[in-house]
Amino acid sequence: MKKIIIILLSGFLFTSFHHSSRFVKAKHKLQLVFHNQFSGKEMIADSSYQNAFGENFILKGFRYYISNISVKEKNGRLHNISAKYFLVDMADDSSQTIELAIDKKDFIGLQFMLGVDSLRNISGTQTGVLDPARGMFWTWNSGYIMAKLEGISGDSKANSHLVTYHVGGFKKDQQTNRVINLNFIESHELAGNIFRVDINADAAAWFNGEHKIKIAEYPICHSPGALAVQLADNYSKMFSLAGIR
Amino acid sequence: MKKIIIILSSCIFLAALLVDAGRMKLVSPGFKTTLLSFNIPPGWPQPVYDFKSNPLTKEGFELGRKLFYDGRLSKDGNFSCASCHQQFAAFATYDHNFSHGFDNTLTSRNAPGLFNLAWQKEFMYDGGINHLDLQPLAPMTAKNEMAETLQNVLDKLKSDKDYRKMFKAAFGDETVNTQRMTRAISQFVLMLVSSNSKYDKMKRGEAEFNLPESLGYEIFKQKCVSCHQEPLFTDFSYRNVGLPADATINDFGRMKITSDPADSLKFKVPGLRNVQLTFPYEHDGRFQSVIQVMEHYRSGVIASAQTDPLVRNKMKISNYEIGQLIAFLNTLTDSSFIKDPRFADPGMRR
């Protein structure tokens, strides 16, 4: 009889244990919606824009990795809610909304990384959005392209007037992933089940930021190094809060 | 009562198991692979490849072998890995300074032999590739090699019934992705261990060197081992041995990867096993024979600030010594490796 009860109990334990570990308490959803823009205007492929130096830019592509998403609690503590990688792509609407489960109701900010952390750059071939077939990987000098901005400009002296910024690099002095902090003006209490944060990503910041990068001088970035690091410094400031719902 | 409890409890237990199995998305029931053992030759260091992340199996190896010999990995179907890495040349390109790539192009470096890759951390003459699994991506996508996109390669494999079967046998289901493809290729090339040359037999006490060979070995230990370290005959460092850049290629080696001028014209020290078969020599195949390589070390070195102190003042090597060094280097040829049927074309190429 004793034995039977033990078996019975272990059966129960087995089920409940396994359930609790998978079904996270989270009842709420955090939705991050990225709005890709250029100088405040919505991005549309093949449209023409102008950077801060009056240089014309016909947009062809814009993609970047987002990962390590955390929410900032009222007491300032960071609470990591996802270790997954996302590839936001101007050309793919579905990639622009990231939906995550959260259990926190009350927070005052967000933190995430633009890029791919160094461990993933040295651990062989990855899967999912990190599959090198997604075209965000340098095969001859192993490493991820953290972000890409591509277009054409009359001011570019490169072949076919191309403007190609492929920004990557993870080694010492070449790091191009950036941690982004977005602080809410006031703490937000979750009303419904879905908490939506709208974020603008403005590519004009790539040219005009801490570093002034003119198309006429630097039309191409295809490798890790000083230019890539400067572009990364600039793109670390391209995000801003557009709204919280 | 007892019976009921037993039935009840076993039901709960089974249900628990089933729910769990469902969530783990068990790969096809009965999925089983045959593990392959990787033997470290006696006296060799531990390999650096992480076998735990990619356990060697017969199924994975066979898939990798098929991929290695399959021209469909290239844009026009003509350029398999094996078109440049030929077994009879210890997986170098036989007698070519540069290998032929897609659309009448040439590579800009000399194809090295492929063996003992499990001990290597970085790949290519400039060390630009930091993991063996990532290595195939470079030739597949290079315009002057296989000139294909990864997505096209994956699509071709997915649409092939045999491949789907082999991916399933190796990895449990028919999913084809870059990781599985490159891990399979790694499994094949990892097994390319060359450790049965006369030199190895001498070390194991199964053969004896003749006089020129043992004299050559002594000279080698004095003048060459600081870079060409035993038993792999390389210390995997990058060195400038005073070979000026060819003005048509402008290949500055390691500097391209590190952007550090101190790395100008530094190239990975090549392992010298099977060196008799892998001519021509150096990163650009500029020398046709080992005699020319020796001639370079003793009279051809063009020293710059980055040239290695061991060679910058030109080595003193007599003609006799060159003969003896060559006799020794020839003991590094592993004739059983280049004839090993496990590594040959599986013959399934279309």
Q: What is the pLDDT along chain A (245 residues), one digit of tens a residue?
A: 555 545 444 444 444 444 333 444 567 888 999 999 999 999 999 999 999 999 999 999 999 999 999 998 888 889 899 989 999 999 999 999 999 988 766 788 899 999 999 999 999 999 999 999 999 999 999 999 999 999 999 999 999 999 999 999 999 999 999 999 998 876 666 566 778 899 999 999 999 999 999 999 999 999 999 999 999 999 999 999 988 87
d(CA B118, CA B100): 27
**Considering only CB atoms, which chain A residues are within 8 Å of B254?**
none
Please judge whether A4 and B2 are an interchain contact, meaning their C-beta atoms are less than 8 angstroms apart.
yes
Q: Is B34 on the interface with A (CB under 8 A)?
A: no
Domains of chain B by range and CATH? 2-194 (1.10.760.10), 198-333 (1.10.760.10)
Distance from CA of B32 to the nearest CA of A (A): 23
pLDDT at B6: 52
Close Cβ partners of A69 (under 8 Å, ≥ 6 residues apart) = A32, A80, A81, A82, A98, A100, A110, A111, A112
pLDDT < 50: residue spans in chain B: 11-26, 348-350
Residue A137 is assigned to a structural domain of this protein = yes
* Whole-Å CA distances, A155 to A55, A164, A223, B216: 6, 13, 21, 62
Amino acid at site A204: A
> Which residues 65-124 on chain B approach chain A with CB closer than 8 angstroms?
124
Per DSSP bridges, beta strands A137-138 and A106-114 are unpaired
**Considering only CB atoms, which chain B residues are within 8 Å of A11?**
9-10, 12-13, 16
Distance from CA of A128 to the nearest CA of B (A): 9
Give the residue carrying structure tokens 């194809």.
Answer: B111
B192 three-class SS? coil
How many residues are listed for chain A in this entry? 245
Determine the distance from the C-alpha atom of residue B187 to the mean position of all C-alpha atoms in its chain, rounded to a whole number: 11
Residue A3 is assigned to a structural domain of this protein = no
Of all residues in chain A, the one with the smallest CA distance to B153 is A133
**What is the enclosing helix (H) or strand (E) of A148?**
strand A143-152
Beta bridge mates, A50: A56
Residue A231 is assigned to a structural domain of this protein = yes
How many CB pairs below 8 Å do chains A and B form together?
Answer: 101
pTM above 0.90, yes or no: no
d(CA B334, CA B319): 26
Residue A143 is assigned to a structural domain of this protein = yes
> Which residues 255-294 on chain B approach chain A with CB closer than 8 angstroms?
256-257, 259
Give the residue carrying structure tokens 């049965």.
Answer: B196
Residue A5 is assigned to a structural domain of this protein = no
CB atoms within 10 A of CB A100: 17
Q: Which two tokens stand for residue A109?
A: 């900010």
Residue A180 is assigned to a structural domain of this protein = yes
Residue A11 is assigned to a structural domain of this protein = no
Residue A51 is assigned to a structural domain of this protein = yes
Backbone angles phi, psi at A133, to 5 degrees: -65, -15
Please judge whether A142 and B142 are an interchain contact, meaning their C-beta atoms are less than 8 angstroms apart.
no
**Considering only CB atoms, which chain B residues are within 8 Å of A127?**
177-179
What is A2-16 written as a DSSP string? Answer: HHHHHHHHHHHHHHH
Domain count, chain A: 1
Amino acid at site A231: L
Asked if B74 and B147 touch (Cβ cutoff 8 Å), the reply is yes
Q: Is B330 on the interface with A (CB under 8 A)?
A: no
Its domain, for residue A219, covers 28-244
**Considering only CB atoms, which chain B residues are within 8 Å of A5?**
5
Nearest to B134 among A124, A223, A226 (CB): A124
pLDDT at B16: 45
d(CA A72, CA B139): 45
pLDDT at B5: 54
Please judge whether A133 and B154 are an interchain contact, meaning their C-beta atoms are less than 8 angstroms apart.
yes
State pLDDT tens for residues B199-218: 999 999 999 999 999 999 99
Please judge whether A132 and B259 are an interchain contact, meaning their C-beta atoms are less than 8 angstroms apart.
no
Mutate to test the interface with B, among A125, A137, A227 (most CBs of B within 10 A): A125
Nearest Cα to Cα of residue B268 among B122, B155, B111 = B122
